[in-house]
Amino acid sequence: MKLLTHNMLTSKCMKVVTVGYPLGINASDVRVSEVDFNPDFVAKIIPKVDWNVLYNAAQSIGQLEGLPKDVVENYENDHEFLKKAHHALLEIDIINGELICPETGRKFPINNGIPNLLLNEDEV
């Protein structure tokens, strides 16, 4: 699971949860793999990302690698910033671990890079 995906996931669909965002991460196996860098593409994604959530997620799994705490001004032309964003969003892959609902503590397992967000009948 990439951190870009984590940035979109929520446990709000559980009946007792009001926000369910962001989900906590417990990572037991993290893999970093190189992905082709396309600065124009990354620049288009930045406005869609909750930067604070991305930053905290990277930090919580020890993968900050110099990621700035805030989006810099004029980021579209900041090659270095885009490269770091690219790395955090697309190159970090959580292979095994779990996601944690911030309100209920419900854990969602991540196996082979695939988080399982299925809920039981009594949870929806």
Residues that bind another protein (CB under 8 A): 1-2, 4-5, 8-13, 21, 38, 40-41, 43-45, 48, 112-119, 121, 124
Amino acid identity, position 105: G
CB 43 → another protein: shortest distance, Å?
8
Residue 43 or residue 61: which is nearer to another protein going by CB?
43
Query: Which H or E element spans position 26?
Result: strand 24-32
Residue 1 or residue 54: which is nearer to another protein going by CB?
1
**Separation of alpha carbons 124 and 60, rounded Å:** 28
**Separation of alpha carbons 94 and 110, rounded Å:** 8
For 33, the token pair is 């793999």
Residue 47 or residue 66: which is nearer to another protein going by CB?
47
